[in-house]
Amino acid sequence: MDLPDLIDATALDGDSESYDVVVVGFGMAGGCAALEAARAGARVLLLERAAVPGGTTCMAGGHFYLGGGTAVQKATGHDDSPEAMYDFLVSTSRDPDRAKIRAYCEGSVEHFGWLEALGFTFERSYFPGKAVIQPGTEGLMYTGNEKVWPHHLVAAAAPRGHKVPVPGDTQGAKLVMDLLAGRVVEAGVEVRYDTGATHLVATAAGEVTGLAWRKFQETGLVRAGAVVLAAGGFVMNPGMVASYTPALGAKLFTLGSTYDDGLGIRLGASAGAALDHMDEPFITAPFYPPSALIKGLIVNKDGRRFVAEDSYHARTSYHVLRQRDSAAYLIVDSAHAERPSMPLVPFVDGWETVEEMAEGLGLPVDALHSTLQRYNDFAARGVDPDFHKQPEWLAPQNAGPWAAYDLTLGKALYAGFTLGGIRTTVEGQARRHDGSVVPGLYAAGACASAIAQDGQGYGSGLQLGEGSFFGRRAGRHAAR
């Protein structure tokens, strides 16, 4: 990974521009950092390489992962607590940062109120179905593995996917960004578009004291009491993807903006910041809605099941990609076969008999017949001793003919982004490998390592949720 050179602090002189806090990147995390820093009394400069604010946030589905007893949870009759939320998130993380998860859960209700104070209201309604995102303006749904074994044994399940009240799968996040941009201007933040950071400025002792910037052919230096890096992930950087998350470089649609090129992460590393979980991507190809498909069974090339089909779609995809040839098929009978409303997983064919289906899919007929028979027998009793699929999603698949959908990588449309980034404290301070902080340097959003850094444990809304939450904390702390 190529790192930008550090510029010695002696390059700053009396004529250099000076700000208390400089934020790099005007997505959700950067906007929240800039706003909170300004509200704390700091003089703030916000740099954005694009011509408009938003970044990858404007590609998001509009979910914020919030819990602990929000107004929407209470209004819709869903009990939740910070402790239950904490226990669940810890159970889904490969290497949980317990301090950050604790802070996020205990501050979630307050953060819910802060978000609504930007100028919108989460609808006090609940969507009970299984979908990637609510079809309407419902304010709450399950967006993770809260009800999936073994997580539901660790903590009482509660829906925590709070959706901004705008129909569609990206307009909600854009609404929040538009409101946030207005509040940033009201707070007196100076925003410069088409302007990107190129290098950090640091003292010989390692304290970050400013940065270099470029706007087209114009360049300059700015002195900063603190720098907050919020410039996105690295999914659009082929070299970094090849080094850290090669699965994202093959047969996948990358979820990112042009500027998710890892610049913020590389800037942080140039100043000595440690990087965590760089090898962990989020990858998914949802096969639902319709939710009826979840009642089917997923088999690999050996004709065997390997995952509970009621898992959050990224968890299912995680396990598909670990099968031989990254191949799998969703099988449903005629009573449950429906065309997916988002056909990312293509329909293969239909067959009158199990034997014909096995031949058509190239699966061993005895194994497929045995798997289907075992599934049907237990589903009729409402139990799944093999993968603990919840009873509400169990139904015998014995009403031929049968249909199959192809979940194989390269056939299904998989998409993904990165979860790794700069190691940070609860307050967003960048940390070195020895655990010490890099003075004057902060990171938030996709520049920072995610609290849910396990691809199969991720739930929709965590990036917007933690990006905005820890962006706020970084801005406030940097303003000190």
Q: Is 284 helix (H, G, I), strand (E, B) or coil?
A: strand
In a domain, 80, yes or no: no
| Whole-number percent of the chain with pLDDT over 70 | 99
- Whole-angstrom distance, CA of residue 102 vs CA of residue 114: 18
Domain that holds residue 403: 286-412
How many CB atoms are located within 10 Å of the residue 44 CB? Answer: 29
Which amino acid appears at position 361 of this protein?
Answer: L
Q: What tokens does 469 get?
A: 């939450």
Q: Span 303-324, mean pLDDT? A: 96
According to the model, what pLDDT value does residue 170 have? 59
Helix (H) / strand (E) containing 380 = helix 365-380
Helix (H) / strand (E) containing 441 = strand 437-443
Q: Span 108-125, mean pLDDT? A: 98
Find the CATH number of the domain harbouring 319: 3.90.700.10
Per-residue pLDDT tens digits for 405-427: 999 999 999 999 999 999 999 99
Q: At how many degrees (to 10) do helices 82-92 and 98-106 cross?
A: 150
In a domain, 407, yes or no: yes
In this structure, what DSSP letter does residue 309 have?
T
Q: Span 333-340, mean pLDDT? A: 91
Q: Which residues pair with 283 in a beta bridge?
A: 416
Q: Span 292-319, mean pLDDT? A: 97
- Whole-angstrom distance, CA of residue 93 vs CA of residue 456: 9
According to the model, what pLDDT value does residue 372 have? 98
CB 159 within 8 A of CB 78: yes
According to the model, what pLDDT value does residue 453 have? 66
- Whole-angstrom distance, CA of residue 180 vs CA of residue 54: 10
CB 67 within 8 A of CB 85: yes
Averaged pLDDT score across all residues of the chain: 95
The answer for residues whose C-beta is within 8 angstroms of residue 261's C-beta and 6 or more apart is: 232, 234, 236, 237
Per-residue pLDDT tens digits for 339-358: 877 788 999 999 999 999 99
DSSP annotation string for 33-67: HHHHHHHTT--EEEE-SSSSS-GGGGGS-SEEE--
Q: Span 16-25, mean pLDDT? A: 97
In a domain, 18, yes or no: no
Residue with tokens 């990107």: 196
In a domain, 290, yes or no: yes
What does residue 411 show for φ and ψ, rounded to 5 degrees?
A: -105, -55
CB 447 within 8 A of CB 278: no
Residue 210 pLDDT exceeds 90? yes
- Please count the structural domains in the chain: 1
Q: Is 413 exposed, middle or buried (0-12, 13-18, 19+ CB in 10 A)?
A: middle
Range ranked top by mean pLDDT from 163-167, 175-179, 448-452: 175-179
Q: What tokens does 33 get?
A: 């950092």
CB 32 within 8 A of CB 180: yes
Q: Is 349 helix (H, G, I), strand (E, B) or coil?
A: strand
According to the model, what pLDDT value does residue 169 have? 64
In a domain, 367, yes or no: yes
In a domain, 7, yes or no: no
For 130-133, which contacts have Cβ atoms below 8 Å and span 24 or more sequence positions? 130/288, 130/289, 130/291, 130/294, 130/310, 130/393, 131/288, 131/289, 131/291, 132/61, 132/169, 132/286, 132/288, 132/289, 132/313, 132/342, 132/460, 133/61, 133/62, 133/63, 133/163, 133/169, 133/460
CB 237 within 8 A of CB 414: no
In a domain, 121, yes or no: no
Per-residue pLDDT tens digits for 250-269: 788 888 888 999 999 999 99
In a domain, 129, yes or no: no
- Whole-angstrom distance, CA of residue 143 vs CA of residue 131: 8
Per-residue pLDDT tens digits for 34-83: 999 999 999 999 999 999 998 888 778 889 999 999 999 999 999 999 99
Residue 168 pLDDT exceeds 70? no
According to the model, what pLDDT value does residue 249 have? 85
CB 262 within 8 A of CB 399: no
Residue with tokens 């993904």: 416
